[in-house]
Structure 1
Amino acid sequence: MIACWFFSVAIVEDLHARRNQMERAQARYVRR
């Protein structure tokens, strides 16, 4: 059970990190 919770937390954090990267890339592209 704890492993499942830890796994889901890792997935959520990975998704947040990817979204932040995409937003930064979009911001750079728009600022050009």
Structure 2
Amino acid sequence: MVLFTTSNPFSLSVLFVHLDAWLRFSALVVI
């Protein structure tokens, strides 16, 4: 999956957005 995202800029951006959403969700759970 990592190789696919690194070879595809669009997928990399989608993965980054997903990661940001996951971090926000994790922060919400912690709080």
Q: Do both share a fold (TM > 0.5)? A: yes
RMSD between aligned alpha carbons?
Answer: 1.4
TM-score if structure 1 supplies the norm length? 0.71
TM-score if structure 2 supplies the norm length? 0.72
Deviating 4+ runs (over 4 angstroms): none
Q: Which has the higher contact order (CA 8 A, sep 6+)?
A: 2
Consecutive unaligned residues in structure 2, runs of 5 or more: 1-6
Consecutive unaligned residues in structure 1, runs of 5 or more: 1-6
Determine which structure has more spread, i.e. the larger CA radius of gyration. 1
When the two structures are aligned, how many residues end up with a matched partner? 25
Percent identity (aligned)? 16
